Structure 1
């Protein structure tokens, strides 16, 4: 990673760029609001690990490093939760809403439902870099507030939609204001050091999973309340005319509480006191890296490819798994009932939370980011193979086969989600290869733009391929899994080409010097 200018008197302001201006310093040396990972040398992307251990509201960390501010981390993680709530809350009722608003035959509902679901990610892909540039000009906190304000308004308006056109427009509006994840991960980065980053981003990922869990529950429980709860909402004309308003209002209320908490208690991660000095320094600094120059920087292209690859696998699996669990055994699925699917997926969710919060920080500290990624890459193909094996055991139905089924089922549900550690590890790898702190925002924006593009295409394509395999009984109904297995193997191979962790490089350099 390229060293930053060493002038000790240069301090950052709210206007210090996230996306540009390598000549401006990021952290106020008095507070050491450092960024992410790597060595503690002044020129690295990782901030100094030294700091004030007595900072109020902070959690102590090993080796006397800078503690994580608990309140700030909580506020950011709570805000992180709101975006997936807004994204997933429509899933339980979107098909019914499309059919009702569009007066469509059943054969057309799936097409329009998928289109509306994808509009959020497609719009997000277009605007993310713009959110990052706006944060360069006016600071992180105000941009986060703008994004959260949109998350308040968008779902509420979507729930009030009466036509397909309104649904399209308001779903796009929600996507336009979905830049909070970019800002939040950057602010968490600025609160982290090389010793606290794994824990901080574990909580970041956990908050996103909580949102994914809550969103469908809110949508399913609150949709069409006059029909679901006639004793409470029956006869209320508003809920009869707008049956999907209540989940939209509930989602908006969650985002509103986050907006208020952020507005009152979140601190800007850049110091406002020196904005004029920093602007003057920026005027004479080196020109910012272009997007293409950043992609060509050492290690960046490889990590972006791996980031996209792991997101591809994750989105494909998330789309296929509920369908595969429900599909009858003779067609290649597990033939589970809705309640059994809920139990299985609840086990997976709880297991994933345990891997992210309990296992990952320890494993990353011991084996490094690359070590965790290589382990996940080695396991990923077998994770998909297990679903084929489970179906084959259920088809056999014999006593020995069922013993193996009850052994492998919990293994897949509890051990398998360990591959989710790659989601956090690849984010840390992204931070590691950033040429300097001043392009970290651009790098995150590129990664999230890539992720949004994948999310807008892959789920629909994956379920379509699965359906083709089931209908044609191709490879016993296992076509989708058979395609994912070599793709997962390629991910494992790609992990071997990740750059070494900064700490590993530093240790190697120390051995050579000795």
Structure 2
């Protein structure tokens, strides 16, 4: 199946629909026609936009421990977790404050400008973060990055608006894949490229720019990628309908002198419109949506706390229950995890999702994640190559599970509401999840610092407490996947059922395209 044919006449599927020649949504309405193919170009561009937005979120975790050390803000290394958590949470605090506002702006001015502003915010504020020389500058630049980056919610609405019912789930899964991949490749990038003057002295000499700003290089790499994505994204078509009654033109082959046709083209009476609006069920009264939202938020809390704790655990000294890894070691492990996640999501996940349904694709990895995370402290007793191999294996499994859960959760959320409420649903989910994602790094860092101060207690000493709490949060996520919290109806789209055969063929073709691109 090929992509949408941009040469075909617009809005030809319904001759009674009015045509607004200056409306960007009308100009691209052919993308939602029943016979339209997968919009590969739009999907891949949105994939890159979301990746550009997600890379800076977690790229700092491998080096935050050392960055806060360089700020000389604490008297003891055991207190570093509090400050590391504050920097990690600043982005999500900013995003939680404005995610709904960016959603409203996207509904009023268009999806494309909000997504472009998100890419610009990465270019400006993530670069400034790399120049941070004190704790408060690091917190402020991360906060501003979250405040101005409202890309995620409009992106999820956009992929639904450039595709028909058969391909909407495909678009949502692409966003989940991109987001999860960014949260894994970001730390790998930060681990390899931070402190370059220490790691690569032959290339970056003492006294050079990157010696004076040891955490600038990974930020600049993200910036260069964001600039390229911004340039490519200007070609995206806008999908928001902007109608003014004076612009309205009759559809082709409809006579404006025919009274019957003129009546059909006239706007609906206000009282009829109000009656239809009264019959529309409010978003927050939809129990399946609330169930999906609870699952998404709890796992967001778990994942962001895990990302924070995992990096701190890896680089903290063996004497404190850590692994004693360098940032390069963490980068290698997370880079391997990112590669495994990419292959799994593109080649295996679509078949699992079609075969098991999104609820089971969410529940099964949670069931496996919980005992695995609780067992992490025992891994610290290993050493040498055995330690590296075991950590790499569990990291790959954990990140594959997390990407599966987030992707399936977004499909569940979109299946829980009709299409005309998906924009609001996505904006609300981003805003609430941002609150939990802000709590995750702050809580994870504080919990890690607390665990470091109680290494000899009889019950859950040191890091055993940290990972036990993460396991408990994962257990709550597992409970939320069962009825009555999450009804089985969320396995299927709210409105029209998609053609499974068409969906399978389309997702395979898109996966091959993305794999070739990456």
Shorter chain as denominator, the TM-score bin is 0.7 to 0.9
**Of 217-226 and 492-501, the range deviating more from structure 2:** 217-226
TM-score by length of 1: 0.73
CA contact (8 A) 1:99 1:109 kept: yes
The alpha-carbon distance between structure 1 residues 256 and 340, as it changes in their structure 2 partners (threshold 3 A), is closer
2:161 maps to: 190
**Of 295-304 and 231-240, the range deviating more from structure 2:** 231-240
**Of 327-336 and 208-217, the range deviating more from structure 2:** 327-336
2:440 maps to: 458
CA contact (8 A) 1:147 1:178 kept: yes
Q: Secondary structure at the match of 2:287?
A: coil
Q: Secondary structure at the match of 1:51?
A: coil
1:256 Cα deviation after fit:
1.5
2:460 maps to: 475
Find the partner of 1:150 among 121, 126, 151: 121
Unaligned runs of 5+ in 1: 1-6, 17-25, 35-47, 53-66, 509-514
Q: Secondary structure at the match of 1:267?
A: coil
1:68 counterpart = 2:35: no
- Superposed CA deviations along residues 129-182 of structure 1, whole A, max 9, x for unmatched, are 111101111111122122222222212333345555544433322112211111
1:79 Cα deviation after fit:
1.0
2:478 maps to: 492
Q: Secondary structure at the match of 1:495?
A: coil
1:51 maps to: 35
Aligned residue-pair number = 454
CA contact (8 A) 1:148 1:177 kept: no
- Superposed CA deviations along residues 185-244 of structure 1, whole A, max 9, x for unmatched, are 221222345544454344323323443344345545555666666665548776676665
**Of 190-199 and 424-433, the range deviating more from structure 2:** 190-199
The alpha-carbon distance between structure 1 residues 68 and 411, as it changes in their structure 2 partners (threshold 3 A), is same
Rounded to whole Å, the distance in 1 between the matches of 2:140 and 2:493 is: 49
TM-score by length of 2: 0.72
Unaligned runs of 5+ in 2: 1-13, 249-264, 498-518
1:83 maps to: 53
1:425 counterpart = 2:412: no
2:423 maps to: 441
Spell out the pairing of 1:309-320 with structure 2 (5 A cutoff): 309-320=298-309
Spell out the pairing of 1:127-276 with structure 2 (5 A cutoff): 127-161=98-132, 164-193=135-164, 195-219=166-190, 223=194, 234=205, 245-263=216-234, 265-270=235-240
- Superposed CA deviations along residues 255-311 of structure 1, whole A, max 9, x for unmatched, are 121111111x2112245677855997798744979xx94222231221111111221
CA contact (8 A) 1:125 1:449 kept: yes
Spell out the pairing of 1:326-365 with structure 2 (5 A cutoff): 342=331, 344-365=333-354
The alpha-carbon distance between structure 1 residues 351 and 13, as it changes in their structure 2 partners (threshold 3 A), is farther
Find the partner of 1:368 among 351, 354, 357: 357
The alpha-carbon distance between structure 1 residues 127 and 244, as it changes in their structure 2 partners (threshold 3 A), is same
1:126 Cα deviation after fit:
0.4
